[in-house]
Structure 1
Amino acid sequence: MDHLDNEKRRSEHTLRAYGATAERFCGFLMEHHGRAVDEDLLRGLGANDLRSYLAVRRAGDGIGNASAARELSALRNFLAFVGGSNKAVPQLRGPRVKRGLPRPIAPEQAMDLAQNMASTATQNWMGARDFALLLLLYGAGLRIGEALALRGDVLPLGERLRVTGKRSKMRIVPILPQVAAAVQAYVDACPYDISADHPLFLGARGAVLSPAVVRANVRSARRSLGLPERTTPHALRHSFATHLLAGGADLRSLQELLGHASLASTQVYTGVDAAHLMDVYRNAHPRA
């Protein structure tokens, strides 16, 4: 876990998932081989051991192809770490996973969501906070974790914002005047002091706002508005990317704005735009 955190700079979610997989795998090996798990055992594993583990996970826990692929990726990283310079990781073809398209929401739905959260908050300043946060997610394409990691030293917001993303990768994102105004309105209404070394978005008691609270508020708002289940904080980032691409943004620029390490991660949004065009075609063409 220290290796993943300090050397690989994996996210908190990856640390939790990979750690859980390694623990499950070691528990399986103790039963499968009937002995304590040590480095010799781990270095001597073959593809059949991995295949047996995944079979147990499928049969006992009902995991699908996507989960099995993630488990296999975690195991490969674990065994490569154990092997050190002798990285003889068993070769096993992973299950085929059909990559799903991101599921954005329409611009008016994003604004309806932000306005609903603002109007239904228990306190005015919390409504201003939620409104500013959602505008930041949609207007700048931030991940929820990136937005909540912002501190008071970013104030006052200008035309650009420096964001720390996955693996501590820095990027610059543009800030719309409407977004900057919403953030400033929240700061002015907030009853707590937001100093340079304190979180920008605060919870009811003045501590950093929890992402679970944001997700719960979004869930409540989408039900109130009758929006689809795919309406989540992360869907606003998908919407940011999809709407930029539909408006003529090129993939390389979009990659930089989203902070993707690989262009392949950004190219998935071309599928979203193509799907939208097909819907328009089917609805509009007289022969469709």
Structure 2
Amino acid sequence: MTPLASHLTVFLVDHLPRHRNASPHTVATYAHSFTLLARFAAERRRCRPIDLQIEDLDPDLILAFLDHVETGRQNSVSTRNVRLAAVRSFFRYIEYKIPSCLDQVLRIHALPQKRTDMRLVDTLTVDEVKALLVAPDSRSFGGLRDRAMLHMAYACGLRASELLSIQMTAFPPGSLATVRIHGKGRRERVLPLWRETQQAVRGWIGARGNTSEQTLFLNRLGEPLSRDGLALVVAKHVRQAAIACPSLLSKRVTPHVLRHSCAAHTLAATGDIRKVSLWLGHASLRSTEVYLRADAAEKLAILAAHAPPGVKPGRFRPPSDKLLAMLATASNGT
């Protein structure tokens, strides 16, 4: 039997950041996945998490855990696949560390990811975004911070991790004209800021005061704001903005919806999916194509560019061949 705790510690603390050059966000995501898995496995095996063995994480337990993620925790299929990716990565590390676990590793590698539906992204209208951006009270400490965060999230189309990791050194010396973003996959991009966004950020920096903490957005304790804190901020101001714009109540607004809204509005303004991809920091255009599916204007342009086909109406004749008749019946699902 092989203790899990020691190998998992080396995997997260040393192997991922040093040998795989994984970002802190990736390490944190994997650590959270194994927190959930360790608690689930300890309950199933009736032991403490520290007493778990690698052999306890067999394919049947992993599958039960993934079902628990999707049904018990009511997470999406995408989240389920993220948890499986973390498990697979750990067992790739175990593959050459502990040869005796090779059979277990191969069986876990064989576990399939679950296919996901390609749904349309949720976006806000321009009026809804305007109502949300003016919702924070600029006369308070929290209001100045929240207004700057909402402006940055929407104007730059930032992921939550990108927004919360912005440092004071991300701006040029003595200017707020641009901001340097450290994005997913260690890709950097420099984005210009609207004048309104610059004013919001300048107001927050003035209220933030001098502190040794270099992260831009802080909580009331002077510590970097968390993802849960950001989600609470957005939910709070959505309720306030809904007073002036009731349509917000019918939508699920998250920090990522602001990123989607930025992309949709940029596509509508430029008509160029490549510019949207550059703005969002996507690795390829395939990630950006989701906004084309949600853009009705693009489909209307396609429809207008093509004349209806000149096909004359005809009368259906059933196939005379018995084999073709059977196949036609089967294709209709009867």
TM-score, length basis structure 2: 0.65
1:135: how far off? 1.0
Q: Which moved more, 1:49-58 or 1:14-23?
A: 49-58
The answer on whether the counterparts of 1:28 and 1:53 sit within 8 Å (CA) in structure 2 is: no
Alignment of 1:73 with 2:91, yes or no, is no
The amino acid across from 2:270 in the alignment is G
How does 1:147-162 map onto structure 2 within 5 Å?
147-153=163-169, 154=171, 156-162=174-180
Alignment of 1:114 with 2:129, yes or no, is no
Alignment of 1:180 with 2:198, yes or no, is yes
The amino acid across from 1:108 in the alignment is D
Instruction: State the alpha-carbon separation in 2 of the partners of residues 62 and 191 from structure 1.
Output: 38
Instruction: State the alpha-carbon separation in 2 of the partners of residues 264 and 164 from structure 1.
Output: 21
1:21: how far off? 5.2
Tell me which residue corresponds to 1:223. Answer: 239
1:239: how far off? 0.7
Alignment of 1:170 with 2:155, yes or no, is no
The amino acid across from 1:209 in the alignment is L
Instruction: State the alpha-carbon separation in 2 of the partners of residues 158 and 209 from structure 1.
Output: 21
Q: Percent identity?
A: 27
Instruction: State the alpha-carbon separation in 2 of the partners of residues 62 and 145 from structure 1.
Output: 22
1:11: how far off? 2.6
State the Cα deviation string for residues 72-100 of structure 1 (Å, max 9, x = none): 33332222221138774532333221133
Q: Which moved more, 1:131-140 or 1:176-185?
A: 176-185
Query: 1:104 aligned to 101, 107, 123, which one?
Result: 123
State the Cα deviation string for residues 143-165 of structure 1 (Å, max 9, x = none): 23322322333264443221112
Instruction: State the alpha-carbon separation in 2 of the partners of residues 216 and 171 from structure 1.
Output: 27
Q: Which runs of 5+ in 1 are unaligned?
A: 282-288
Tell me which residue corresponds to 2:219. Answer: 203
1:240: how far off? 0.7
The answer on whether the counterparts of 2:235 and 2:254 sit within 8 Å (CA) in structure 1 is: yes
1:167: how far off? 4.1
Structure possessing the higher relative contact order (Cα contacts under 8 Å, 6 or more residues apart): 1
Query: 2:38 aligned to 20, 23, 30, which one?
Result: 23
Q: Which moved more, 1:60-69 or 1:127-136?
A: 60-69
Tell me which residue corresponds to 2:95. Answer: 83
Instruction: State the alpha-carbon separation in 2 of the partners of residues 55 and 248 from structure 1.
Output: 43
Instruction: State the alpha-carbon separation in 2 of the partners of residues 233 and 102 from structure 1.
Output: 13
Alignment of 1:193 with 2:210, yes or no, is yes
Across the two proteins, how many residue pairs are aligned to each other?
A: 267
Larger radius of gyration: 2
Query: 1:258 aligned to 270, 273, 280, which one?
Result: 280
State the Cα deviation string for residues 100-132 of structure 1 (Å, max 9, x = none): 32211112212211211226xxx5343222212
> Residue 63 and residue 109 in structure 1: after superposition, are their counterparts in 2 closer, same or farther (change >3 A)?
closer
Alignment of 1:132 with 2:151, yes or no, is no
1:169: how far off? 2.8
Instruction: State the alpha-carbon separation in 2 of the partners of residues 19 and 11 from structure 1.
Output: 12
The amino acid across from 2:234 in the alignment is V
Alignment of 1:92 with 2:104, yes or no, is no
Alignment of 1:142 with 2:158, yes or no, is yes
1:36: how far off? 6.9
TM-score, length basis structure 1: 0.74
> Residue 54 and residue 236 in structure 1: after superposition, are their counterparts in 2 closer, same or farther (change >3 A)?
closer
Cα RMSD (Å): 3.6
Instruction: State the alpha-carbon separation in 2 of the partners of residues 18 and 80 from structure 1.
Output: 16
Tell me which residue corresponds to 2:331. Answer: none
How does 1:32-43 map onto structure 2 within 5 Å?
37-38=53-54
